[in-house]
Chains A and B, each alone.
Chain A
Amino acid sequence: MTKGLNHFIKCFLGGLLTISVIFSCNDSPYMQGKRLYLANCANCHMEDGSGLSALIPSIQKSVYLGKPEIACILKNGLRDTIFKDSTFLVREMPAFKKFSATEITNIVNFVNHSWNTSFKETTITQIEEAINICQ
């Protein structure tokens, strides 16, 4: 192989790598949060956070966005029962006890960054404080 061609291929591949890294990072700066959201939340709240009609709330416009108290919902879960005609449906958000404060912070930042228009980054300290109060 000629030296020029070799050089060209290296530059090309390097460039491709740079571009793909830039694009994948641009997607969301909260990669762990995104991964955790997709693995643990998207089943119910959907990838786009839209939920399922009245059965699972949308988090796109949730009042908890931007508030550290959202950590309490993740830690302790949430449960509501709809009654009608002597029957009921349980709307249950499971508790994610296994999540560390770091993981919760990452999820919260991912969620806020995705759907909270006045996004401000939440710190681990804020989340830890919130968790202490809700327990």
Chain B
Amino acid sequence: MKLIFYYILGAFSLLLVSCKNNETLPYLGQTVVENGKEIHHKVGQFSHYNQDSVLMDNSSLSEYVYVADFFFTSCPSICPKVAKQMLRIYDTVQDEPMVKLVSFTIDPKRDDVKKLRLYADNLGIDHNKWYFLTGDKEATLELANTYFVAAFEDADAPGGFDHSGKILLVDKDGHVRSFSEGTDPENTPKIIEDIKKLVASYKAENK
């Protein structure tokens, strides 16, 4: 009898802990305190063209929570796997207008606007939901660092670039709030949960 009591108690405390986790997502990266205020890491500034030749920058996304990755269309190694997970995320957020997806190419020389449009068409996605962005190469490689993605040119790597397949969740203010390894499908449900939490927290604020 006593055992059952402890079991129920245990189950309840687990429930409490998991509810507590629901509250807020952490801010990734360095947080500094200035004049008693916490300043969280933000992603870098960009100014890139999307697959429909529209120039976009950080302010174009300031009303949205977005999921970002870095890729290139001729990438033979990890990109298809990561794209597949982005597609999986895309499927779950189709009906949530607050969420966008953004894929930056790190190979702008080959991936111009037209190529990205063809890629997006063949991926079969909505151009107003998922942006494929191309811009200055050096700027993009530096930008990747601010998203905690290591990306650099490497003649020995497959396709000429070495980069990690991280998928990042960015909030409306440009803070990175969650990430997953796009090469591991088992990572994806967690980031999908985190997207929901972030969206829910904005909705709760507006009440």
Residues of A that sit less than 8 Å from B by CB: 42-44, 46-47, 50, 52-56, 82, 84-90, 92, 94
Contact = CB atoms under 8 A, between A and B. Distances in A.
B83 A52 contact: yes
Contact of B84 (A46, A85, A87, A89): A46
B83 A86 contact: no
B78 A55 contact: no
A86 B114 contact: yes
B84 A84 contact: no
B89 to A, nearest CB: 14
Contact of B118 (A42, A43, A53, A82): A82
B91 to A, nearest CB: 12
Contacts of B77: 43
Contact of B80 (A56, A82, A86): A56
Given A50-B84, A56-B80, A82-B118, 19 more contacts: A42-B81, A43-B78, A44-B76, A44-B80, A46-B81, A52-B80, A52-B87, A52-B123, A53-B87, A53-B123, A54-B124, A55-B80, A55-B119, A84-B121, A86-B114, A87-B115, A89-B119, A89-B122, A94-B76
B48 interface: no
Nearest to B124: A53
Contacts of B121: 84
Contacts, number: 52
B80 A54 contact: no
A5 to B, nearest CB: 25
A133 to B, nearest CB: 28
- Residue in B73, B76, B118, B185 with the greatest tally of chain A CB atoms within 10 Å: B118
Given A43-B81, A53-B122, A89 B73 contact: yes
Interface string B44-79: 000000000000000000000000000001101110
- Of A46, A50, A53, A88, chain B has the most CB atoms within 10 Å of the CB of A53
A52 B84 contact: yes
Contacts of B80: 43-44, 46, 52, 55-56
Contacts of A56: 80
Contacts of A92: 76
Nearest to B110: A87
**Most central of B73, B74, B77, B121 by chain A CB within 10 Å:** B121
A26 to B, nearest CB: 21
B74 A90 contact: yes
A60 to B, nearest CB: 14
B117 interface: yes
B123 A85 contact: no
20 contacts: A43-B78, A44-B76, A50-B84, A52-B87, A53-B87, A53-B124, A54-B124, A55-B83, A55-B119, A82-B122, A85-B117, A85-B118, A87-B114, A87-B118, A88-B118, A89-B73, A89-B115, A89-B119, A92-B76, A94-B76
